[in-house]
Amino acid sequence: MDFELNEEQRMYQRVVRDFCEAELKPYAAEVDEVGDLRWDAIRKMPALGLTGLQVPEEYGGAGLDTISAAIAIEEVGRACGSTGLSLAAHNGLGCGPLVYWGTAEQKAAYLPALVNAEALGSLALTEPQAGSDLAGGVQTSARRDGDSWIISGSKAWITNVKYAATITVLVRTDSDKGTSGFSMIIVPTNAEGLTVQSPEKKMGLRASPTHMLSFDQVRVPLENLLGEEGKGFYQTMETLDNGRISIGALSIGLAQAALDESLRYARQREAFGKPIAQHQAIQWMIANAAMEIEAARLMVYKAAWLKDQGKNFTKIAAMAKLLASEVAEKAAHSAIQIHGSYGYSSEYPVERIYRDQRLMTIGEGTSEILRLVIARNVLKEIEHLTPA
């Protein structure tokens, strides 16, 4: 086993970290307050491949391996959680389905603009009554009408819509076929009948706006179908598997940021005649955070490696995202404790980090759903190994 990053990965990590330290971290509190991404930074991202991490080079993307993509998202999240979320959604949910299932014409039409940061990618899955239960809860439908699809329904908690030119939407195209009755359709954000509601007022990640969408007889061409009709649910599950690696990496970035701030403060703050970093109670919190972050990072890397090797990574991706998101929560909690009353103040980054990480155990599969995914996969493995 080789646990070392290769030279290219180390170099890329250094370049991305330097960019984030200069272009994102100094503005993280400001964008959180304003509620908008820093587009001066976003427009510089294509030069580093950040807006096309795993898009093939023929469409202008970086064509990176999954470990390198995870490294990039971790570094962005370490500097600014909001930017990390929007970038993770752009790459995994926006570009990803187009790369995997788009026709040559669709890829040529949509990917270059996404890679060049002319717009950010967006995927609409969740609905007001359908979060974890997509199969049973999604009601947004699309019916054929001549050479068009007519889409009706609503979506909730959709990331990047404000910055998107198109949205890939999960819809029911046949209500009688269960999970085989779903499809994905590409919808322009300027389509007649599509209404983007006001941004949600969120606890954290405020610079990454989230919106509800309403579809009132929205008409799009039949060729906007992404992949095969009836395969939408399976496309969604594969997209979420991929996304869990990315959200795991983002969680690690937030956890690492919390630890970084804890270390900085603990070495400066004095109590009882010495820096609090020399007190055992503080050292225990630092040790636990460092240990758990390292373990979560290795699990995310393993999931990324399995994906790149073409192996089944559903179980490990679920484990990685679950572990990393819960580690982020503990690291952020400890950071507040280490800072004491100052940790409760917005003058210190840990207050924002604590708010930002809270979504990590909810989005891309709640911790409860991920435990079900993991358990079901473990049980399947046991059944496969047990003699009849």
Question: Would you name the residues annotated as active-site residues?
Answer: 364
How many of the other CB atoms lie within 10 Å of CB of 120?
25
Report d(CA 121, CA 69) in Å as an integer.
16
Give the distance from CA 30 to its chain's centroid: 21
- Residue among 94, 107, 116 at smallest CA distance from 47: 116
How many of the other CB atoms lie within 10 Å of CB of 293?
22
**Burial letters for 70-103: b for 16+ Cβ neighbours within 10 Å, e otherwise?**
bbbbbbbbbbbbbbbbbbbbbbbbbbbbbbebbe
Indicate the pairing of strand 225-226 with strand 182-188.
Answer: antiparallel
Residue 193, classed as helix, strand or coil, is coil
**Burial letters for 326-354: b for 16+ Cβ neighbours within 10 Å, e otherwise?**
bbbbbbbbbbbebbeeebeeeebbbbbbb
Residue appearing with tokens 């962005």: 76
Instruction: Name the maximum alpha-carbon separation found in the chain.
Output: 79
Indicate the pairing of strand 166-172 with strand 123-124.
Answer: parallel
Report d(CA 110, CA 115) in Å as an integer.
9
- Residue among 74, 66, 194, 201 at smallest CA distance from 124: 194
